[in-house]
Amino acid sequence: MLSPNNTLADPSIRISALSKSYGTTEILKGINLEVAAGTYLCLLGPSGCGKTTLLRCIAGLEHPSSGQLDLQGRPMFHEKMPVPVPAEKRGLGMVFQHYALWPHMKVFDNIAFPMRQKRASAAAIETRVSDLADLIGLRPLLDRFPSQLSGGQQQRVALARALCIEPSILLLDEPLSNLDSGLRNQLRRELRNIHDRLGMTSVMVTHDQTEAMALADMVAVLHQGVVVQYGPPAEVLFNPATRYVAGFVGYDNMPEGIVTDLADGRVTLDLDGARVNVQASGRFAIGERLAIGLRSRDVSLTGTPKGNHIAATVSRVTRLGPSLEIEITAAGRPLLVSQSADGTPAPKARDHLFLQLPDIAPLLR
């Protein structure tokens, strides 16, 4: 029977000042992370930010240039080690973006391959593969070849193979990126359910912020080889640490202003002559120049101003399926508003309206 794998004494993963260079090109620049046992961590960022290189360093498929990496309290790499611990001795499971299944092996044999490499008994292999087939929904497919499977089925086989040796840490490299949206949502839920049932630590690379927010207990946002924010999804989503993080998690409007007043946890800014007052966390100073993080779906246009508002002029209206993308000019800059195309009369170019802002918003340096 499959059973939880959780240990609580030490962090599952401890990374200290980890760097990786290829020649003179520095890919990772002093990464520091501690990941508690049983955590689902998402490494989030665009292509080229270093997230896959970091995952491969954890896996032992890449050797860092400096720093230290401990897994389950055991050193895997540090600068004074003569040879880093090889990948096959780290006790990890890994699911690759492109599945990497053996095309000449049936599903049963693909799943069983890691156990056979470790010379497990036939009875132990039969029991483990049978349990995994039931857990992941592969029982009817065990006698098929990978070429006879859909993309989603192949991904399930790759996941079962990674879990076959009961890893304490599971690594996933963009495991859902090759699937259509409906199947991606289904497998996302299954990944989280399996993680919770087995109690392992999971580290997943993704560029999809919605995916990260839905799956993760903790999110590490990477930018140019540096972790620029590390925290629970809600913290990253509602209190982004930088303008870069805000842009990446969906704040598509960032009008700038000057702080003119601070009182009772609220900040007043002058946005090109318009005064707005928002509740925001952080320490700010009068005279400081900040941007307000606003999502286009969280602001609205109205003909009657109330609360926080800015005068706006409509530039263009574009229908995008069930919604309208409205380009406006407000506070001296172009901004976006997204609203439902539900039969309400749409604004027209050159209409003069008011942009209503939320009462709570992140302020960004």
Query: At which of 222, 247, 272 does a domain end?
Result: 247
Q: Assess whether 195 and 341 both reside in one domain.
A: no
pLDDT of residue 306: 85
pTM, two decimal places = 0.88
Helix (H, G, I), strand (E, B) or coil at 34: strand
pLDDT of residue 80: 85
- Token couple for 282: 């952080």
CATH number at residue 281: 2.40.50.140
Q: What does pLDDT average to in each consecutive run of 10 residues of the chain (365 residues)?
A: 51 96 95 96 95 96 95 92 91 88 94 90 93 89 93 89 92 86 84 91 94 95 97 95 94 96 93 91 93 95 90 95 94 93 86 95 94
Q: Assess whether 339 and 263 both reside in one domain.
A: yes
pLDDT of residue 7: 43
Name the nearest CA neighbour of 5 among 249, 192, 195: 195
Q: Assess whether 80 and 173 both reside in one domain.
A: yes
Query: At which of 218, 247, 276 does a domain end?
Result: 247
pLDDT of residue 56: 96
- Token couple for 51: 């997230």
Number of domains within the chain: 2
pLDDT of residue 349: 95
| Distance from chain centroid for Cα 31 | 17
The reply to whether 1 falls in a domain is: no
CATH number at residue 203: 3.40.50.300
Report the C-alpha dihedral over residues 239, 40, 68, 98, rounded to 10 degrees. Answer: -110
pLDDT of residue 2: 57
